[in-house]
Chains A and B, each alone.
Chain A
Amino acid sequence: MSIERRSMFSRFTVAMPFLWLAAFFLLPFLIVLKISLSDDAVAQPPYAPVFNFGEGWAALREKLSMLDFENYSFVLGDWLYVYSYMQSLTLAAVATALLIVVGYPVAYAIARSPRGLRPILLLLVILPFFTSFLIRVYAWIGILSREGLLNQMLLSLGAISQPMEILATNAAVVIGMVYSYFPFMVLPLYAALEKMDDTLLEAAADLGATPSQAFWRVTVPVSAPGIVAGALLCFIPAVGEFVIPDLLGGSETQMIGRTVWNEFAVNRSWSVASALAVLILLVLLVPILIYQRMQLRDLERR
């Protein structure tokens, strides 16, 4: 086999992910970007201008000049939209922080369990995924509602005298997100903890660290890449989450996913909805870039 043919093949394999991303990410993104720069119109589709590449250069240039950033200044000028972004980021951050607190001990316990038991425990973490996401979120309504399982249990235990109002609050949204994203936090944490060399803990103990000191000075920093990976895997989709706030949230819940949906379906303003979507992407670019950098550094270390 000639070197040239092999290099053609390797070029093709390298090009594949790029082609994939171009077809299913870049192209749709450019369409959304274009719509976000358009104006609403009572038409089909409901925005203008609509490009038609058969019309020739002059028409195309004229239509290009119709594009502007009007929708962006509208969105950023309206407190309601900005508030929606802030709330999305806040709720996602709270959920992510709780996920670290809940997920770390679970991942740690699995990584410390006997080798033969680990695949089973990991399977149990992933098992809920075998059921539809929607059904699982619906199930939380049954748990969190006024007459739900949680209130009934706490009432019968005498922990509370009045049923709590959890459903249709932001707390319910956070609970739903912590539940739904749990495996995304546990798996990267487990991967980081599992590959940690146990002799590091012995070395720490040998140098005078008690088990808890060794945990904070060695285990946690060594597993930091896993914490960051898990946090971003949860935080990024949580910011744009739509189903959970829609089903478990109440009137106070104005997460950006719901706002986009409102603009799109209720107001039929595709252009504003698109502008909101593009802005989410810009906001999330920051944590994505942090993640990229961390991964690069991890690769260098190897």
Chain B
Amino acid sequence: MEMAASKTQKPQSVRRKFEPWADPAAEPLIRFENVVKRYGDVVAIDGVSLDIYEREFFALLGPSGCGKTTLMRMLAGFEEASEGKVVLAGSDLSGVPPYRRPVNMMFQSYALFPHMSVADNIAFGLKQERMPRDEIAARVDEMLKLVNLRGFEKRKPHQLSGGQRQRVALARSLAKRPKVLLLDEPMAALDKKLREQTQFELMDLQQRIGTTFIIVTHDQEEAMTVADRIAVMDHGKLIQVATPAEIYEQPNSRYVAEFVGDVNIIEAAVTRVTTSDTTLQADMLDAELRLTQRTDAKTGDRVAVALRPEKIRIAKEPLSEVHANCAQGVVYDIAYLGDLSIYHVHLDNGFVLKAAKTNLSRQIEPPIDWDDRVNLSWTPDAGVLLKS
């Protein structure tokens, strides 16, 4: 959204303590109960149970075909569950047609009515409700103000830019004050800069109006930016439902670790388990791998450990007396990203580890170059033992 950098607005903090999912007494607004969706033999949704709370900004994240859109369309009423049920504010939604659900959706294509002006598009749902004329006018004006489109009410969709159309679609889906707003890849058609800006504005908007937002996206950065909680999906199943930080720092599976962010997956065998930490012998490392993490795994079990590249320290200087959590190798690839560089390090035993380093100085000459011999090390809390 083309709002100037908010100099005039008083900067509001977006941070807040909001975690109704942690409160066992909290009543969810939306509840998926063992939902299954089949198309013939194909299982699109495979036994999903999920609670979403009021005022939550919830993201459904996954690759295309993982079922995230189907799950959202069930809430909108465009798809019916083959098994299980979808409950909204205590009432079962099965059999309720889309036009009777207190849920509105912003479509990926925006689906603006081409024959109607911006104002008529926004007023469509209100006219459907037979709201009095003056109230409609007031609500349309309020919505235009909300998305910064005042002065555009008489334009037709084809006379707007992509970003403006996106905002009309948003205003139209919010006009009826739905209990839940569904956003289907809302920023897919925007360029990167505009997308980032829009993400923040969407969060801000959600905070102000307090509506429950559910966003479907395949963009993990987008999900992490906007959402309170993320559900990572694969093949119609929920793999992990957690806050962005938990998803990133404590992925419960190899799938989640690899889907969200960059990661080194280290295969290892458990050698020792204590109440506070786990020691492993990795195939790719000569040194021991130590984790300050408890596990149910027993000695001898094969497991996988996720290690994020930015948690690995990379240096040319030799390490001082360490026996664990280290490796040596030669740099064979550098991805220079400006803010940081990703080094691909060929270990002496043939394996490859990725390490990231923030570019703190403004040197043009890289401090670590191709073919440099480097030492890698990390702390015992850097790695995560994956369950599957």
- Taking Cβ atoms with an 8 Å cutoff, the residues of A that contact B are 197, 199-200, 202-210, 213, 217-218, 221-222, 224, 301-302
- Measured CA separation A206–B76 after assembly (Å): 7
Identify whether the interface residues of A are mostly helix, strand, loop, or mixed. Answer: helix
- Measured CA separation A122–B129 after assembly (Å): 39
Asked whether B84 is an interface residue with its Cβ less than 8 Å from the other chain, the reply is no
- Measured CA separation A208–B103 after assembly (Å): 10
Task: Kindly provide the distance from the CB of A114 to the nearest chain B CB, expressed in whole angstroms.
Answer: 15
Contacts of A302 in B (CB 8 A): 158
**Could you name 13 residue pairs across A and B whose Cβ atoms are closer than 8 Å?**
A197-B111, A199-B107, A199-B111, A202-B105, A203-B105, A203-B112, A206-B98, A207-B176, A209-B99, A209-B124, A221-B113, A222-B114, A302-B158
CB-contacts of B75-131 with A (<8 A): 76-78, 97-100, 103-105, 107, 109, 111-115, 124-125, 128-129
- Measured CA separation A208–B105 after assembly (Å): 11
Asked whether B165 is an interface residue with its Cβ less than 8 Å from the other chain, the reply is no
Contact B99 A218 (CB under 8 A): no
Residue ID in chain B nearest A213 by CB atoms: B128
Contacts of A205 in B (CB 8 A): 77-78, 97-99
Contacts of B78 in A (CB 8 A): 202, 205
Contacts of B173 in A (CB 8 A): 206
A207-B176, A209-B128 are contacts. A301–B99 as well, Cβ < 8 Å?
Answer: no
Contact A221 B128 (CB under 8 A): no
Among B76, B98, B100, B105, find the residue whose CB has the most chain A CB atoms closer than 10 A. B98
Residue ID in chain B nearest A221 by CB atoms: B115
Contact A222 B99 (CB under 8 A): no
- Measured CA separation A202–B104 after assembly (Å): 11
Contacts of B105 in A (CB 8 A): 202-203, 206
Residue ID in chain B nearest A204 by CB atoms: B124
Contact A222 B124 (CB under 8 A): no
Instruction: Give the top 5 A-B pairs by smallest Cβ distance, nearest first.
Output: A207-B125, A208-B128, A203-B111, A199-B111, A205-B98
A199-B107, A203-B107 are contacts. A208–B113 as well, Cβ < 8 Å?
Answer: no
A199-B107, A301-B158 are contacts. A207–B115 as well, Cβ < 8 Å?
Answer: no
- Measured CA separation A206–B124 after assembly (Å): 10
Task: Kindly provide the distance from the CB of A203 to the nearest chain B CB, expressed in whole angstroms.
Answer: 4
- Measured CA separation A291–B124 after assembly (Å): 29
Contact B107 A202 (CB under 8 A): yes
Residue ID in chain B nearest A202 by CB atoms: B78
Residue ID in chain A nearest B76 by CB atoms: A206
Task: Kindly provide the distance from the CB of B110 to the nearest chain A CB, expressed in whole angstroms.
Answer: 9
Asked whether B167 is an interface residue with its Cβ less than 8 Å from the other chain, the reply is no
- Measured CA separation A210–B129 after assembly (Å): 11
- Measured CA separation A174–B98 after assembly (Å): 43
- Measured CA separation A207–B143 after assembly (Å): 15
Contacts of A210 in B (CB 8 A): 97, 99
- Measured CA separation A72–B176 after assembly (Å): 62
A199-B109, A202-B107 are contacts. A208–B114 as well, Cβ < 8 Å?
Answer: no
A222-B115, A224-B115 are contacts. A207–B107 as well, Cβ < 8 Å?
Answer: no
Task: Kindly provide the distance from the CB of B227 to the nearest chain A CB, expressed in whole angstroms.
Answer: 22
Task: Kindly provide the distance from the CB of B372 to the nearest chain A CB, expressed in whole angstroms.
Answer: 54
Contacts of B76 in A (CB 8 A): 202, 206
Contacts of A301 in B (CB 8 A): 114, 156, 158
Contact A208 B158 (CB under 8 A): no
Contacts of B354 in A (CB 8 A): none
Contacts of B111 in A (CB 8 A): 197, 199-200, 202-203
Asked whether B172 is an interface residue with its Cβ less than 8 Å from the other chain, the reply is yes
- Measured CA separation A114–B262 after assembly (Å): 43
Contact A203 B113 (CB under 8 A): yes
Among A206, A218, A222, find the residue whose CB has the most chain B CB atoms closer than 10 A. A206
Among A208, A218, A222, A301, find the residue whose CB has the most chain B CB atoms closer than 10 A. A208
Contact A207 B114 (CB under 8 A): no
Contacts of B104 in A (CB 8 A): 206-207
- Measured CA separation A217–B124 after assembly (Å): 9
Contact B113 A218 (CB under 8 A): yes
Contacts of A202 in B (CB 8 A): 76, 78, 98, 105, 107, 111
Contact A222 B129 (CB under 8 A): no
Residue ID in chain B nearest A200 by CB atoms: B111
Contacts of A217 in B (CB 8 A): 124
- Measured CA separation A200–B116 after assembly (Å): 12
Contacts of A221 in B (CB 8 A): 113, 115
Task: Kindly provide the distance from the CB of B180 to the nearest chain A CB, expressed in whole angstroms.
Answer: 12
- Measured CA separation A222–B114 after assembly (Å): 7
Among B115, B173, B176, find the residue whose CB has the most chain A CB atoms closer than 10 A. B115
Task: Kindly provide the distance from the CB of A301 to the nearest chain B CB, expressed in whole angstroms.
Answer: 5
Contact A197 B172 (CB under 8 A): no
- Measured CA separation A217–B103 after assembly (Å): 20
Residue ID in chain A nearest B129 by CB atoms: A208
Which listed residue, B77, B97, B158, B172, touches A207 by the CB 8 Å rule? B172
Task: Kindly provide the distance from the CB of B248 to the nearest chain A CB, expressed in whole angstroms.
Answer: 33
Contact B128 A200 (CB under 8 A): no
Residue ID in chain B nearest A217 by CB atoms: B124
- Measured CA separation A15–B112 after assembly (Å): 40
Contacts of B97 in A (CB 8 A): 205, 210
Residue ID in chain A nearest B169 by CB atoms: A203
- Measured CA separation A217–B113 after assembly (Å): 10
Contacts of A206 in B (CB 8 A): 76-77, 98-99, 103-105, 173
Task: Kindly provide the distance from the CB of B211 to the nearest chain A CB, expressed in whole angstroms.
Answer: 15
CB-contacts of B122-160 with A (<8 A): 124-125, 128-129, 156, 158
Task: Kindly provide the distance from the CB of B96 to the nearest chain A CB, expressed in whole angstroms.
Answer: 12
Q: A199-B107, A206-B104 are in contact. List 15 more A-B contacts (CB 8 A).
A: A197-B109, A202-B76, A203-B172, A204-B113, A204-B124, A205-B99, A207-B124, A207-B125, A207-B128, A208-B99, A208-B100, A217-B124, A222-B115, A301-B114, A302-B158
